[in-house]
Amino acid sequence: MLEYASYALVLFSLGMYVVLDGYDLGVGMLGLVAGPERRRQYGEVVATAWDANESWLILVGVVLWAGLPGAYAVVLPGAYLPLIVMLVSIILRGLGLEMQSAAGRYRRGWALLFGGASLATTVCQGLVLGAVLTGPHQRGGAFRGGAFDWFSPYGVLCALGLVVVYLLAGAAWLQDKTEGWSRPGVRRTGRSLLLATVVMALVLGLSLPGADPQQFSLGQPVRAGLFWLAVGVAAVAGAVAWHGFGRRPDWRPFAAVATMTASGLLGLAVLSLPVVVPPGLTVHQAASPHSSQLFLVLGVGLCMPFVLAYNIYAWRSFRGKYSEPAEIPIPPLPTRSCSLPAAPTSTGLLRTSVRRVLLCVLGILATALSQDVFGGVCDLIGPIGVTVLGCTALAAWIVGDRRDGRAGHFDAATGAETAS
């Protein structure tokens, strides 16, 4: 039963990521067709909680790697290229968002980087979803396909569908968090995206039996009941979102879109269970040993409340409509009565740089040796030695930097001003 608990953790983390990070990816893509002021406003709205939203993707990878290594071993090599591009896009997306937020005024390049990286991330996620649903080529629990097997017509449809879903979530979130759109504009955009989402859901659903090698069956009463319940909940949530776009309360469309998205994921999981990777890799076959499952369920289960608390805290702290922060003049810095240290010498800076390089090498050496230790080899050094080595490197780094700080080696700007 623990393998099903791990599978439930994967589904829960994946659902939280799609619902939460989906809206800020959608906001980023909507910024590509917005004006300069809107782009900056959209970035500030997303900047309040984007890092907490993406933390769920880390949990998905950890649970899949440790709890269902069989599925991880098939999916990862089957979609290497889109996964790598997705990770690079996530990094660039965060860079563009933070640099734009710190710029103090609109910067077109950073804003476009944020929007373009959001689009690239979404497309890559859709291609990975299509690769999983169409069944990676596998034999004996290992991937046996080619480097571009992830690219297929159904994968392209999945990418397009995910773009539409994220755009819908972004539009619903912007209605809740901003005052920039007129009510008719919100209604028109939201309902158009909702119709596009319904069309893509129908196209993907009707094409799935032909693209997926797994034979779906609704002959079991429990499976059929849960599936049609999920479909019914999604339909009701879609109707609520349709009615809520352009009307108060402003939070209702986003809640409805999140419910609709979660219901779709649950319906797909109910349809395919116990298969996790088509055509026939089941939860039992992909699961890790019982001891690993127990450690994972307890460890990740204890981490999830903290991640949820972080999300709730961010939502509560930044609740309400976004407004431009008032500029507060910075008070003058107090003057220092004591004499400033002299400008750093080239010898001191060279000594600091050399010491840091050596300590980095020492840390890498400790990491490499720890691979043998925790792998059960222990040919060169034991666990206590790894701990002592790491603590020694850290202590040397701290002590050396404190000594150089007292000597004035970190006051280059101040020393230059004093000399002038």
Instruction: List the pLDDT tens digit at each of the 420 positions of the chain.
Output: 778 888 888 888 888 888 888 888 988 898 888 777 777 777 777 877 777 788 888 888 888 888 888 888 888 888 888 999 999 999 888 888 888 777 666 677 788 888 899 999 999 999 999 888 888 877 766 777 777 888 888 889 999 999 999 999 988 888 888 776 667 777 888 899 999 999 999 998 888 877 766 666 677 788 888 888 998 999 999 999 998 888 888 888 899 999 999 998 898 888 888 888 887 788 888 888 887 888 888 888 788 888 888 888 877 877 777 666 554 455 555 555 555 445 555 666 677 667 767 777 776 666 666 555 445 555 555 666 666 766 777 777 777 777 767 776 555 444 443 444
Domain of 310, in residue numbers: 2-317
Domain final position from 299, 317, 335: 317
Tokens of 57: 């993707």
* In-domain check, residue 386: yes
* In-domain check, residue 258: yes
Same domain, 302 and 375: no
373 vs 397: CA distance, rounded Å? 24
* In-domain check, residue 297: yes
Domain of 21: which CATH number?
1.20.1630.10
Same domain, 264 and 380: no
| pLDDT at position 383 | 62
Same domain, 269 and 409: no
* In-domain check, residue 324: no
* In-domain check, residue 405: yes
Count of CA atoms in the C-beta half-sphere (13 A) of 213: 13
387 vs 382: CA distance, rounded Å? 9
| pLDDT at position 165 | 93
Same domain, 250 and 381: no
| pLDDT at position 377 | 52
| pLDDT at position 257 | 92
Same domain, 202 and 286: yes
**Beta strand segments in 94-233, E:** 138-139, 142-143
Same domain, 267 and 411: no
Same domain, 253 and 359: no
| pLDDT at position 382 | 60
Same domain, 373 and 312: no
Domain final position from 296, 317, 338: 317
Same domain, 35 and 115: yes
* In-domain check, residue 332: no
Tokens of 274: 């116990």
Same domain, 353 and 277: no
Domain final position from 267, 296, 317: 317
Q: Are strands 142-143 and 275-277 parallel, antiparallel or unpaired?
A: unpaired
* In-domain check, residue 289: yes
Contact 67, 296 (CB under 8 A): yes
Same domain, 246 and 382: no
Contact 180, 45 (CB under 8 A): no
* SS3 state of residue 274: coil
| pLDDT at position 330 | 53
* In-domain check, residue 334: no
How many domains does one find in the chain? 2
Same domain, 23 and 163: yes
The whole-model pTM stands at 0.73
26 vs 253: CA distance, rounded Å? 14
One-letter amino acid identity for 21? D
